[in-house]
């Protein structure tokens, strides 16, 4: 869906040539830069969060919270090389924290029906992943969906690299058993 006209990324129409001396202009440029990043990243981040939470609405809400944090720190984070990576990390941490808070619910979910996920989702895979602890789920998503190296997964989840490798292996073995698929040993 196209962005509302007032919020559409305006970098081509306006500012680069305009000196940012007037506060209003600076604010508009800031909003348009943020809007560009939002449009480019929101869907991807919310998909990653969804794969951790398996709840589409909550995934979008948590992603929204992460972007709100990004906006409130935009003056600083916009100077980073990859502001998108910053918001993605925040969203993943929020998602894992949320899942940890809801551990009791997670225990109930193990025995409940899988969430209604529209096709073409791999329902069996999602159902099996729901039996893993939230942080293991996050590790699998970051490594196999986001293609993050193990060191980066470890950094976001607050684990050591060897511990992350062990946990990924355990998670894959558990999934292998549940899905009756063969499990490779290499992680890297």
Partner 1 sequence: MSVERRLREGLERSALAVQPDVGRRLPEAIARGRRRRRARRASVIVGTVAALAAIGFAVPQVTSYVQRIQHPAVSPGPVLKPGPDAVIAGSYTSELRATSQVIRNNGMAGTWTLRLRANGVVTLAAPRSFHGDLASVAFRVQGDRFTTNALVNDPRCSNDVGVYRWRRAGGTLVFTPVSDTCAVRRALFSSQPWHAIR
Give the shortest CB-113-to-partner 1 separation in angstroms. 16
CB neighbours (10 Å) of residue 102?
Answer: 16
Give the shortest CB-141-to-partner 1 separation in angstroms. 6
Length of the chain: 188
Give the shortest CB-33-to-partner 1 separation in angstroms. 12
CB neighbours (10 Å) of residue 36?
Answer: 15
Per CB under 8 A, which of residues 61..90 are in contact with partner 1? 63-64, 67-72, 74
Q: Which of 188, 89, 187, 65 is nearest to 138 (CA)?
A: 89
**Cα separations in angstroms, 139 against 44, 52, 112, 161:** 17, 9, 23, 12
Q: Which of 16, 19, 24, 184 binds partner 1 (CB under 8 A)?
A: 184
What residues make contact with partner 1 under the rule CB under 8 A?
A: 1-4, 7, 31, 34-35, 38-39, 42-43, 46-48, 50-51, 56, 59-60, 63-64, 67-72, 74, 117-122, 125-126, 140-141, 144-145, 172, 175-176, 179, 181-184
């Amino acid at each position: 869906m196209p962005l509302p006209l007032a919020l559409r990324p305006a970098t081509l129409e306006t500012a680069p040539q305009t000196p940012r001396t007037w506060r209003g202009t600076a604010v508009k440029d800031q909003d348009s830069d943020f809007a560009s990043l939002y449009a480019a990243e929101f869907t991807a981040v919310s998909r990653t969060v969804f794969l951790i939470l398996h709840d589409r609405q909550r995934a979008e809400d948590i992603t929204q919270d992460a972007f709100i944090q990004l906006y409130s720190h935009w003056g600083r984070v916009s100077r980073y090389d990859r502001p998108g990576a910053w918001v993605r990390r925040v969203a993943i941490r929020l998602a894992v924290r949320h899942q940890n808070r809801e551990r009791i619910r997670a225990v109930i979910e193990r025995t409940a029906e899988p969430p209604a996920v529209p096709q073409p989702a791999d329902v069996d895979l999602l159902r099996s992943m729901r039996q893993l602890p939230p942080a293991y789920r996050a590790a699998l998503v970051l490594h196999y969906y986001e293609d993050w190296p193990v060191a980066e997964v470890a950094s976001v989840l607050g684990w050591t690299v060897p511990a992350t490798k062990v946990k990924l292996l355990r998670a894959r073995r558990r999934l292998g058993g549940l899905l009756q698929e063969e499990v490779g040993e290499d992680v890297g």
